Structure 1
Amino acid sequence: MLLGLWVMAGSVAGYAAGTQPAAMTREQARQVLDVINDPAKRAEFENTLAAIASQLPAAAPAPAPAATVAARPVSVQPDSLGSDIVQDASSLRGKLIVQAQHFVALFGDLVFVVHWTHTIFADPDSRIILLDAVGRATLILLLALAAEHGFSLLLRRPLLKVTARAMATEQRLNLHAPPQGMSAPSTPDAAGSDDSAARQTQQDDMQAQHATLRLLARVPYSLLHLLIKLLPVGLFFALGTSFAYLLTTTQQARAVTITLTNAYVVARVVYLLMETLFVPRSPAIRLCSASNQTAFMVTHWLNFLVAAPSVVVCLSTLGGVFDMPARGTEAIIRSVVLVEHVLVAIFTWRVRTHVATALQPPARLRAQPFWMFVGRLVHLWWVPAMFFNFALWLIWATHISGGYAWIIRTVILTTAVVILSRVLSVVLYNLQNRLFHVSPALEARYPGLQARMDYYYPVSRKILSFLMFFATAIVFLQALGLPAIHFLVHGRLGQKLIGVIGSVLVAYTVAIFTWEAANAALQGQITRFENSSQTGRASRLRTVLPIIKTVLLALIIIIVAVTTLSQIGINVAPLLTGAGIMGAAIAFGAQSLVKDFITGFFMLVENAIQVGDWVTAGGVAGTVEHLSIRTLRLRSINGDLHIIPFSEVSSIANTSRDYNLVVVDIMIDLGQDTQQLTTILHEELEELRKEPRYTHLVLSDFKFLGIEQADGNGARFLGSIRTSPGAKWTVYRAYYSRLAVRMNREGIKFPVPSFLNLLGNPDGDRGLQVALADRPRTPQA
């Protein structure tokens, strides 16, 4: 074990034991500095400190401030999903802060670089050496760059000649190219079809051979183009190396010049090798199939991408030349390499569309489901590319053991997860389509079932997609090396999360099945009533059906909402108590409204009235046009619409139920033969019943009730006729019309009360009322 490590560890242990630590010598301090500069030794020292800290006694917690004690944080219900999420979120926040601190610590040594630079410039001798080396190296590089640029201008004409020869060769090959887009003539027989396929195959082979020959013809011109462009780079290398020995006076200046020269040459050669594939200004010698726009974009980005490795090489060399500690050099290199990876990520994002287009399967295969999925999947190629890019840097920067093997394993597993999840989703979606498809026999047995299934299909599809996404995310995280499955199966929060999702899904499923079963039962009951000629009961159930549905839906929503809230950890007892108090307050404050609802509900349940009935309610007579749980709408005979709350309806006279009676009230002269009048009344009613229009309206014969009154005003003759519901006014008018003609023909005498009799007779007003009683008050058709 290193001495400095033990000295520092012993100092910490001495402070822990309460003793004064021993003084540190100069040699020990130098060893401690070596430990700090060496990452491996520094990590070993951190492990030693962690082991010592684990054996120290825990300090007593400091008393909480008064304000903190007095404050009572708002918390959810204990031992619930909400409380677990809050606790795990706090723990996750702490872990993320620690990881962020570790990430920032990777660049913490940059501060040391700033201090080292300040120290170098503070020393006059070091400053002179540094400025001399940098100045001479810069001058030499500028001279070499000027020479390279001038030589490149001189070589422009040979480059144009190479390009012209390449274009001439390309045109000569195109003259002998096979025709494209031609197909053999169609023949109806099988032999003709085989011949057409054979010709098409031969044509495809010829085109492939021509493309290969054209690529091979470009290779010599591309190599010649590369060699011509390498000549100025060779001149730069020769001048930079020669001037490094001729124009420098110190070893540091020579090393800086040679290092910068080599870095530039390496970067330039790598760039020219990559440029040979694209050659943006000479498409005739381009070795890859890319458009001019793509070629220019790629070569433009290559200038930035090859610069970062050169900077890394320079820093790794120059750090040793100027005695920079290893920790500073490593910090600078980590930063530069991170910038390089950021540039790679930006470049990946810029070319994502071009690469996805190039990776698309052939057009003849895109109609197949598998290749269609592959065509969609390649549009996401940049996601694993960016992940792989930054993962490489993180593993290199943090010296993770086995990190590259983890990346390869993760890429393979994540790719398999994506493919398998897609295949499984196709299978599950097909199964869902079959479950939601109703057979014709079942649709005939339960009409409207397919429409109800189609109504819930989008919701179920979204739920299935959510479950598939959730399961895929869990497996994906497991493939990345995170214990996602263990978290769900054995973790406290994971188990509660699965329980909550399952409970909510079960609650919603039961609620939907309950709702649909209740609707089906009610609709089936209405159908059975109609099929069994119980029209009244069917109409009554149809009238109260919206009320029953509303109450049932409200009950289901309340139960599901309470279940969901209780599952996520919200205490529903205060909510239910508050809802009860609010309901009581509303009931007391709106008694009339509550009375409307209660009275209306019982009116509808007892089938007191229906739409279309002629009723008298609240002092208004008319036809019922609309019924709700609270109001009754009547259309009176003069066309006015009366909206009457049920709380104002004390009684209802329904004229459209069971049967009606037409009361025949006739005043005849005292000398008139009553038997003759009875015969007339019977005969005219029989004649009326023979007419088809009135046959079903008249339900009984004329019933003579007797003489109710006989005095000086005449005799009051009473009788009755039973009619169908709501038809008494129709029968009344038709019957009296026939009686008027018949009585006039038979000479029936009616009393004519004099004005004096009406004045002297106490019953004169009564007689006038009786005389006018023959006119119906409500001439309803």
Structure 2
Amino acid sequence: MNSFRHPARVSRRPALRVVPLLALMVAALAAVALAGGQGARAQDQAPPRAAAASAAPQEAPAPPPAPPAPVGAGSGGAPQGAAGAAPASPAAAGAPVPADIQQLLRLLQDDTRRAELIRILEALAAAERGAAAPPAGAPPAREPAAPAPAAPAAAEPALLAPNTLGAQLLSGASQRLSALSDELVAAAQALTDLPAVAAAVSELARDPVTRRRVLDASWKVALVFGLGLFAEWAVWRMLRRPRDALDAMAPRPGSAWNWLRRVPLVVGRLALDLVPIAAFAGVSYGLIGVVQPLPTTQLVMLTANHSYVALRAAMAASRMLLSPASAHLRLVPCSDETAAYVTIWLRRILLVLVLGAAAAEIGLQFGLPWGAYDAILRVSLLAVSLLLVVVILQNRAPVADLLRAPALAEGESPERARRFFRGLRDRFAEVWHLLAILWLFAAWGVWALEIEDGFQRLMRVSAMTLLIAALAKLADSGARRLIGRAFRISPDLAGRYPGLEARANRYLPVLKGIVSGIIVFIALLFLLESWGVDAFEWFGRGQLGNRLLASLVSIGLTVVVAIAAWEAANAAIARHLARLSRDAQAARSARVRTLLPMLRTALFIVIAVFVVLNTLSEIGVNVAPLLAGAGVVGLAIGFGSQKLVQDVITGVFLLFEDAVAVGDVVQLGGLSGVVEQLSIRSIKLRALDGSVHIVPFSAVTTVTNMTRDFAFAVLDLTVSYGADTDKAAEAMRRVAAEMRADPKWGAVIRDDIDVWGVERLSDSGVTVRARMKTDPLQRWNVAREFNGRIRKVFEAEGIAFAAWPWARPSGDAAPGGPGELLAPRRATE
């Protein structure tokens, strides 16, 4: 914030705050009116008269017109430079008006004015002689030959559409810069003629009449403004108690009703503030008529009075709204510091505007050229723009804090589309002051360059920019809400399709980001159109934008169709797996889970190739050579990788025939283990000791799957030759019956034991064989449990084993073979 006085001191001080500046301005302008104005008028009138004399050299000299009064009498102070811009015709000059003749008679009868007239005529004659006689040794003036016009350049397509604000800004700037350069050259030539300026100043300083008139004008101006300011101060002092009473009666800030009650008191305070200003106006305007100044001095005093009254009235109106000294009478809700800050900067801006306008108007009365008049006004408004730039830069940080996106809650993470707009708001908060400064100078340029309907167009462009930005924000918010509702998964639907919600959440941020990007792109096109850039023409028939947009739409549709096909295939597979799981078809479910990675890989390759080829075709790449090259490369790879192709084909057939599945215990190529993974070309087995075997499908000639449908636990018991085999068989049936009666083992044993009898006779003893039908993967567990129980029964009944009793799941399975792979598993698994 800018440093400023305490709010209580802002409006308590009287009107003398701006007196030094106004007094300085009035004194300077009075001196100009009485001294410098006449010399400037003489310089302005000399060239036209010389031109008129050279234009009609053979005409008889006409009677001299009424000479200009030394202080601008006759025409009411009209600018002499403007009057002398075009020479009068001889007929008009030779017919004086009777009123002019009477005025000339009165002028000649006054000794003081007659002497002033003589001095002016001598100065005019000297100026004409100086203008007509070229400098010694100078060649005769000759107009340089105009260069041949250059051939017009070939027409180029304009970036800005014709008759738009941007086009007129560029055109007006070019014309105004050319005119301004001419004015600056003329002013530089006049200012650099230092001998003439010094001679005129010294002549005016030696003239006693001029000195007397300057002193007369100065004391009259000082008297008028001094008495007027004293009257304002006296009235302000007298009304201090009523103002304090209104301040005490004002309600405290609070509800809307208190605000309404405050309005009449604020209006009364405004009336009390206007009374001192009215006192100043009454006294000063009355004294102007009493002291009877010369016409030009009177114009200066009236203009200064108007400016001062306007400035004081504007500040009174601002105090009515802001009331920096009293919060009870403040209509605009703000703090004391803010009210004082705005009041101070408003006073500075109004002071620059009023002083600039007053200086331009007073200068115009003394014959100031219209170009200089416009330059003063433009510089004044430029100074106001610079002051506003200072205000903007001082308030850059507080406004940026208001524009930035609100802080996120702890642990909150916005979605991608919201992050984009949050970043956009933060970026705008960082550069808002630059945009505001650019808009200020654009407004000044529109006014300074006098662009037709410039302000209306600038306001329309600004309003359209804000409207488009607001509509884009609303459209983005609405689109995100609609997308969120469209992708909302009800609990019933999520229960029927478990993976649907996860897939929807996967694509939801991407879709929101795409929609937000489209909205921003469309808003940018409308912004360019409102700024005068014909953006929609870029997307006309045959234009680059049209082709680019068509390609993007085609590529986007291709990607959407590809994603839909991919997700539909995944959803169908997942639904089929869920149905198999509900129907207790574990075998088929395992096979589908085995085929799923390969199917997904193949589908992804097909979809990716389709999308890439379509994208390249839309970009303009000829895909025919690519397809031919891919075919050649594929043929070469096929010849060079026959074994790989054989692995893939064999694996596909094995899977489709449901020969193996994940979790099966198999023997492949002399290796055994549990199937852990199936790829498109190999199978991975986990052995009993934890080793991993990777077996290519081309090496598989025979598959031994020991975990399909059901299994038999084959039980071979070898007893001595002296043992009773019938008693041994009976013991085996009894132990099997006990196991079936046990809930733990009855659930996995599907049928009674089948005792085959004596299987063989060997040197060690007699082998009795039996088998029990079990669930897959349970025969080894059942055989181990049966061996443990039968050993105890044989010991109790005195049946001797010929050798250490053991049972194996099959006749050719050695200890440590596939049957040991599931040793840790129990019957309930």
Q: Which residue of 2 aligns with 1:277?
A: 317
- Separation (CA, whole Å) in 2 of partners of 1:309 and 1:601: 93
User: How much does 1:222 deviate?
Assistant: 1.7
The separation in 2 between residues aligned to 1:585 and 1:258, in whole angstroms, is 106
Equivalent of residue 749 in structure 2, options 693, 698, 701? 698
In structure 2, what is the equivalent of residue 4 of structure 1? none
Q: In structure 2, what residue type is equivalent to 1:219?
A: L
**What is residue 662 of structure 1 aligned with on the other side?**
713
Any conservation in 2 of the 1:163–1:285 contact (CA below 8 Å)? no
Match of 1:123 in 2: 193
- CA separation of 1:259/1:161 partners in 2, compared to 1, >3 Å: closer, same or farther? closer
Q: Summarize the alignment of residues 327-726 of structure 1 with structure 2, pairs less than 5 Å apart.
A: 337-338=381-382, 340-341=384-385, 343-344=387-388, 347=391, 392-403=443-454, 406=457, 432=483, 434-437=485-488, 446=497, 449=500, 452-453=503-504, 455-479=506-530, 482-490=533-541, 492-545=543-596, 548-549=599-600, 552=603, 556=607, 559-560=610-611, 563=614, 567=618, 612-614=663-665, 641-645=690-694, 647=696, 654-670=705-721, 674-699=725-750, 701-704=753-756, 707-711=759-763, 713-726=764-777
Q: Which has the higher mean CA deviation after the structures are superposed, 291-300 or 106-115?
A: 106-115
Describe the superposition over 1:710-740 as per-residue Cα deviations: whole angstroms up to 9, x where unpaired. 34x4445555444322222222122222332
CA contact (8 A) 1:659 1:724 kept: yes
| Residue 167 (structure 1) aligned with residue 207 (structure 2) | no
Whole-angstrom CA distance in 2 between matches of 1:575 and 1:91 = 40
Structure 1 match to 2:119: none
Structure-2 separation of matches of 1:100 and 1:351: 31
Q: Which moved more, 1:588-597 or 1:534-543?
A: 588-597
Q: 1:569 to 1:447 in 2, by over 3 A?
A: same
The one-letter code of the counterpart of 1:283 is S
**1:322–1:410 distance in 2 versus 1, CA, 3 Å:** same
Secondary structure of the corresponding residue to residue 698 of structure 1: coil
Q: Structure 1 residues 493 and 746, CA, compared in 2 at 3 Å: closer, same or farther?
A: same
What is the CA deviation profile of residues 64-101 of structure 1, one whole-angstrom value per residue up to 9, with x for unaligned ones? xxxxxxxxxxxxxxxxxxxxxxx99x9789x9999879
Cα distance 1:210–1:281, how it changes in 2: closer, same or farther (>3 A)?
closer
Secondary structure, aligned partner of 2:748: coil
- 1:289 equivalent to 2:341? Answer no
* TM-fit CA distance, 1:496: 2.5
Cα distance change, pair 457–742 in 1 and its aligned pair in 2 (3 A): closer
Q: Which amino acid aligns with 2:582?
A: N
In structure 2, list runs of 5 or more residues that go unmatched.
Answer: 1-139, 206-210, 403-424, 805-810
Once the two structures are TM-superposed, the CA of residue 503 in structure 1 deviates from its matched residue by 2.6
CA contact (8 A) 1:315 1:333 kept: yes
Q: Distance in 1 between matches of 2:783 and 2:666?
A: 18
Instruction: Note the C-alpha offset of 1:276.
Output: 0.9
Q: Deviations over 1:10-34 (max 9, x none)?
A: xxxxxxxxxxxxxxx968669x8xx
Cα distance in 2 for partners of 1:752, 1:605 equals 46
What is the CA–CA distance in structure 1 between the aligned matches of 2:649 and 2:281, rounded to whole Å? Answer: 98
Q: Within 1, Cα distance between the matches of 2:654 and 2:214?
A: 103
Relative distance call for 1:507 and 1:440 in structure 2 (3 A) is same
Moved more, 714-723 or 308-317: 308-317
Following the alignment from structure 1 to structure 2, what is the Cα–Cα distance between the partners of residues 630 and 155?
105
Q: Is 1:299 the counterpart of 2:369 in the alignment? A: no
Amino acid at match of 2:568: A
Task: Quote the Cα distance in structure 2 between the aligned partners of 1:626 and 1:132.
Answer: 112
Alpha-carbon shift at residue 539 of structure 1 (Å)? 2.7
* 1:293–1:145 CA distance, 2 compared to 1 (3 A): farther
Give CA-to-partner distance per residue, 1:432-476, whole Å, 9 cap, x none.
Answer: 555344567756655554564455444434433443444444445
Letter in 1 for 2:315: E
CA contact (8 A) 1:617 1:649 kept: no
Give 3-state SS (helix, strand or coil) of 2:762's partner: strand
Report the residue type matching 2:562 in the other structure: A
Of all paired residues, the percent bearing the same amino acid is 25
Tell me the SS of whatever aligns to 1:697. Answer: coil
The size of the alignment, in residue pairs, is 631
* Alpha-carbon shift at residue 425 of structure 1 (Å): 6.6
For 1:543 and 1:575, locate their aligned partners in 2 and report how far apart those are by CA, in whole Å.
Answer: 34
In structure 1, what is the Cα distance between the partners aligned to 2:470 and 2:172?
Answer: 35
Q: Residue 212 of structure 1 aligns with which residue? A: 263
Q: Note closer, same or farther for the CA distance 1:98–1:424 as it changes in structure 2 (3 Å cut).
A: closer
Amino acid at match of 1:277: A
Contact 1:278 1:288 (8 Å CA) reproduced:
no
Instruction: Report the Cα distance in structure 2 between the residues aligned to 1:616 and 1:141, rounded to whole angstroms.
Output: 124
User: Following TM superposition, by how much is the alpha carbon of 1:223 offset from its aligned partner in structure 2, in angstroms?
Assistant: 0.6
Q: CA deviation at 1:141?
A: 10
Q: Secondary structure at the match of 2:239?
A: helix
SS of 2:584's equivalent in the other structure is coil
CA distance in 1, matches of 2:339, 2:219: 29
Q: Give the superposed CA RMSD.
A: 6.4
Q: Are the structure 2 counterparts of residues 106 and 507 from structure 1 closer, same or farther at C-alpha, using a change threshold of 3 Å?
A: farther
CA separation in 2, counterparts of 1:620 and 1:225? Answer: 114
Q: Which ranges in structure 1 are unaligned for 5 or more consecutive residues?
A: 1-24, 33-44, 60-86, 182-203, 246-253, 358-375, 754-768
Q: How does 1:136-175 map to 2 (within 5 A)?
A: 159=236, 162-172=239-249, 174=251
What is the rounded CA distance, in whole Å, between the counterparts of 2:227 and 2:681 in structure 1? Answer: 98
Corresponding residue number in structure 1 for 2:17:
none
Q: TM-score, normalised by structure 1?
A: 0.60
Structure with greater contact order relative to length (CA < 8 Å, sep ≥ 6): 2
Residue range with higher mean Cα deviation, 490-499 or 139-148: 139-148
Aligned match of 2:49: none
Structure 2 CA distance, aligned partners of 1:484 and 1:492? 11
Instruction: Determine helix, strand or coil for the equivalent of 1:289.
Output: coil
- Bigger mean CA offset, 117-126 vs 591-600: 591-600
Q: How much does 1:515 deviate?
A: 2.9
By how many angstroms is 1:171 displaced? 1.8
Separation of aligned partners in 2, 1:282 and 1:241: 41
Distance in 2, matches of 1:125 and 1:674, equals 152
Q: Is 1:170–1:284's contact at 8 Å kept on the other side of the alignment?
A: no
Which structure dedicates a bigger proportion of its chain to helix?
1
CA offset at residue 598 of structure 1?
Answer: 9.1
Query: Do the aligned partners of residues 277 and 702 (structure 1) sit closer, same or farther apart at CA in structure 2, a change above 3 Å counting?
Result: same
Deviation of 1:587 (Å): 11
Letter in structure 2 aligned against 1:299: T
Pick closer, same or farther for the CA change 1:681–1:241 going to 2, 3 Å: farther
